[in-house]
Amino acid sequence: MSQLPPDDPPNIPSDVSVGKRLGPYLLCSRLASGGMAEVFLAKKLGEDGFSKWVAIKVILPHLARDERFVRMFQSEARLAARIDHPNVCSVFDFDQRNGTYFLGMEYLNGQPLTAVMRRCRSTRALPVRLAARIIADAARGLHAAHELRRDDGTLAEVVHRDVSPQNIFVLYSGTSKVVDFGIARSNEALAERTQTGVVKGKIAYMSPEQIRGIALDRRSDVFALGVVFWEALTGQRLFKRDNDMSSGFAVIDAPIAPPSSLRPGLPPAFDHIVLRALARERNQRYATALDLAREIDAALANLGIVAGVEDVAEFMNELFADEQSARQLLMQSLANAAPSAERASDGPAPEPSELSSALTVAPASAVGTSDLRPAPIVGPTPDERAPSRADQRERRRALWLLVLAPLFAVLATVAAVFLLVPYIRTVIERRVVEVHEVRVATSPETPPPARVQAPAPVRVARAVDAGAAAPEPRPRVTVMRPGFLTVLSSHPAEVFEGSRRIGRTPLTDVELRPGRHTLRFVPSGGLPPQTIDVELRPGGTTIRRVRWDVEE
C-alpha cells in the first residue's frame, strides 16, 4: 500500500468520473456518493490482459484539500488493510493521482443487511437460523478487528463505532462481511482522532457509553451488534425514534422487550443471547464478539439446527433473483464496453460513449459506508415508460397465476393428504413406552448414582376361545419392528453403547433393536460420565432425560 508523504503539498484535485483511470484502475460505474466520498466499480488492469473487478473509494475534491481529512482517510486504509479475515471487507490499496486520494477495496457481490431485512419485511420473515448465522459471522469479523495488534505485539484497541445493518454485507455466496472502518477508533489514531463533544455513528445503534461520551472498548461494538440481532429477529426497529435526541434517550433507558415477545415461537436461547448482548452495564455483556458468536453457534447446535453459508447463499439467491440477473447483465455490458478505455493512460478515456451508455443502469452501492447514498439512476422512471411487450406478457402471466393459484393449492392439499396418511398411521401406531428422568448430583459429597433399571417388558397373553378348534400350526416369519430412542440432557453429552458412538444430545427418534441397551453419557465441561440402562420395545418410543444437578 502506498504511503502518503507527510510533507507533500496537496495538488489541485482533478475531476473524477466514469470512464477515467486512477493508476491501474479504470472507473466503470458510480456505485454510491455522499458528502465525503464516492464509490466506483472499477477494473484493475494488469499485464497480459489481466483484470479484476474492485471497488474504489474516492475523497471528494473539496475534502482532498483538507490535510486533516486526508490523514483520517489514510488512517482508515492503514487500519482496514491490516485486518485479514474472511468476514471483513479487505482493503488492499491507498494512493493518490494528481491530487485525488482513493482506497482500493474488495468488490462485494451481495446486499447490505438493511436491504435483506427490508425485503424480508415486505415478503416474509428472515429465518431465525439465517439471522443467527449472519450475526455470528459478523461477530467473528468484528473480533478479528478487535484483536488487531501493532508491530510491537500490543493490541491496537480497535473499536468500529458504527456497527449497523448498513455496514454488514451479505454476499450472494453466503458469506457475511463487516465493512467501513471509516470512523473506527484505535490507539494509533493521530490527527484523525475524534474531536471532543463530536458523536460519530448512528444514534439508534450506539451503546449507552458511546452516547454518554465515555471511553469505549470492544464491548461497545457487541452492544451495537446485539441491536442488529434484535432487529433481524423481530423485523422491527429497537431504539429508532422521531429524532436523534429521543433515540439517544431510548438507548440509555427504554425497556428492551425479549425478541420472542414480538416473534412467537422463537427459541428462548436467542432471547438470552440478545438480552445479554444488550446489557446496558457493559460488564454484564459478552466480553468479546467471539464469545457472542460461540454462544449463537452453541444455541443452534443444541436445537439441532444447521445453518451454514450454503443456506444463506440459497436464501439470498432466491430473495434477490431479479437483482442478480440485472447485475450480471450490467457486468457483462461493462466488460464489453471497457476494452477501448483500457488502453487509455491516466485521465479521460477517449470518447467512452459505449461505456457511458452502459452505466445508466448502475445499481445501488455494493460497498457499505456510513456516509454514502445510492447514486441517482439515469434514465426514465417506470411511470414515464410506455408498457413494452415484455411488460404486457408479465401482466398476462400474473393474471393467469391469480386464476390458477387456487386450483394448484387444492391439488397440492389433496396430494399432501395422500402422501402423509402412511406417515400419520405409522406415528399413531408408535406408542410412547417410557418417559424417565435421571437426575445426577455432581457435588463431591454425593456418591456416583447407581444405574437406573428400566421396568421389565410387559408380556401380553392373547386369549384363545376354548370352544374353537385349535388351528393347525403353520410356519410364520415374524419381522421385529425397531424401537425408537429420544434422549435429552441438561448438558450436551456424547452417547455411546459399548465402543459405538450413537451421537450427541439431543437425540431424537434413533432407531435401535428392541431390548435392553446400556448407554454411557460423556458430558462436556468436566462433568462426570453416567451409565444408564434403557429398555426399548418394538415400535415404541422411549424418552430419557438426563440432568446433571451442578451444585455451586
Active site residues: 162
Q: With the CA atoms of 96, 98, 100 and 105 taken in that order, what torsion angle do they form, in degrees rounded to the nearest 10?
A: -40
Closest CA relative to residue 233, chosen from 318, 342, 134, 375: 134
List the grid coordinates of 357.
451508455
* Region for 413 from its dihedrals, namely left if φ exceeds 0, alpha if ψ lies in -120 to 50, beta otherwise: alpha
Distance CA 251, CA 394 (A): 46
Q: Tell which residue, 177, 217, 185, has the closest CA to residue 201.
A: 185
**Residue 368 amino acid letter:** G
Phi-psi region of 279 (alpha: psi -120 to 50; beta: other; left: phi over 0): beta
Amino acid at 25: Y
How many residues are recorded in the chain? 552
Task: Please report the beta strands in 185-299, taking only residues with DSSP state E, as ranges in sequence order.
Answer: none
| Ordered DSSP codes for 472-533 | PP---PPPPPPEEEEEEESS-EEEEETTEEEEESSEEEEEE-SEEEEEEEEESTTPPPEEEE
| Nearest alpha carbon to residue 13 among 2, 22, 25 | 22
